[in-house]
Structure 1
């Protein structure tokens, strides 16, 4: 029988996070869920206090040793909170919990990006995120909201995440410490986050014109959970800095021959 592994999943109360937590538990793994409610650790990752509490509580509940971290929590709303949670909350999760991974014989780390990372970003917001300047990033998001360009916030935060993964996965702190750091980039998934976009057949058709998914269309959260199960498993020993598009073909349609 395989050794039980301990995995921390943010955004565990719904959607991809809930489906992944359920699958891992079904397969005998120990899951420490993190969310605003209905989780082992209830914190707000849009705040510095919430991020610090996550690290403290995770160390306490895991007895100082974690095998995998899935930084999955995210928002899709046009708001400054989306910047705080999607980018800065995700990085605080991975960097804050990295010391707990050191005690594992097969540590793994994954974050949830999105195929929306393929859309043109707001360059000023993108650079503020990559400079780790949260006040500047929040300020730029406020400007985008004031000018009616708030729709750029979500995709830009996801673009920033995949850039961060590519820039850091091979570093001493991650690959050098034996920790595969990767990301998933889902297309449209049936979750509470997307329910308003898929409420009718007409709405779904309009959405799929913007996000083409020629292979089997909109996916269920359980499909993504299976991928996360592998990426956080001991068997995943050599994927490094990869953005795995589980998007029904959106990446292929939109980028064609491009390899990055």
Structure 2
């Protein structure tokens, strides 16, 4: 049966691959991005987050079957906080009421194996507290040195989002309403976002030292898209609050036999 999906970040990378895959499967996809999408919004802006919900409601007739929140930034700048955490949470929370009429509602977002890397505890706490002004101010401080403290911004947003999923997935408004809420945590995926990081053999070697991927190395976007499509499908009935690492083994190498 054809379903209606909302996919953020649909203009490129994992989001584009996911939107294309779902359309190939015969589903209706409402794509969201800064450009080249059905709905164009800037997820760093609270007013645009509200407009996203209103426009999805209008385009869908007030009912959708799944949310696939992919949009993100990997830059050592405050805007990464706005998109990767507050934009992600606002998308999932804002669109959740539109899932109410679906016989198989689903929601999934994109975290990252970078959630395993060192992060800024102060920023993570501000994110989880929902303090956007405070988090942006902290990110400004970190961004002053892009090579050191600024590099902590991305991993901090992804760690906070993964923890948000764990904290909320079993709550009445999600699991209690029959909505599986989960996340995926990719390793290095070949997308426009990572292109500049893998141009030379030296860059690739250095990146694999930071993000070890013993199983088949770097991945294509479609690899993650297939997992997202399944998590958002009718088949996924009982996966709840999981952060599924699709990282070629990075999680295993970094954490060993630890399961949490």
Same fold per superposition (TM over 0.5): yes
TM-superposed CA distance for 1:121, in Å, is: 1.3
Give 1:70's aligned residue: 68
Give 1:32's aligned residue: 30
TM-superposed CA distance for 1:196, in Å, is: 0.7
Output one character per residue of 1:140-162: Cα deviation in whole Å (capped at 9) or x when no partner.
Answer: 00111125510000000000000
After the TM superposition, which residues 89-168 of structure 1 pair with which residues of structure 2 at under 5 Å, given as runs?
Answer: 89-147=87-145, 148-168=148-168
Give 1:227's aligned residue: 227
Aligned-partner SS, 2:149: coil
Give 2:186's aligned residue: 186
Distance 2:71 2:194 in 1: 14
TM-score normalized by the length of structure 2: 0.98
Distance 2:131 2:73 in 1: 19
- Of residues 3, 6, 18, the one that matches 1:5 is 3
TM-superposed CA distance for 1:202, in Å, is: 1.5
Output one character per residue of 1:199-257: Cα deviation in whole Å (capped at 9) or x when no partner.
Answer: 11211111001100000000000111110110010010000000000000000000001
- Shift >4 Å, 4+ stretches: none
Give 1:60's aligned residue: 58
TM-score normalized by the length of structure 1: 0.98
Distance 1:78 1:95 in 2: 26
Does residue 207 of the first structure (1) align with residue 210 of the second (2)? no
Give 2:39's aligned residue: 41
Unaligned runs of 5+ in 2: none
Distance 2:258 2:4 in 1: 37
Aligned-partner SS, 1:199: coil
Give 1:83's aligned residue: 81
Distance 1:58 1:250 in 2: 36
Distance 2:19 2:244 in 1: 19
Aligned-partner SS, 2:150: coil
Distance 1:31 1:42 in 2: 14
Give RMSD over aligned pairs.
Answer: 0.6
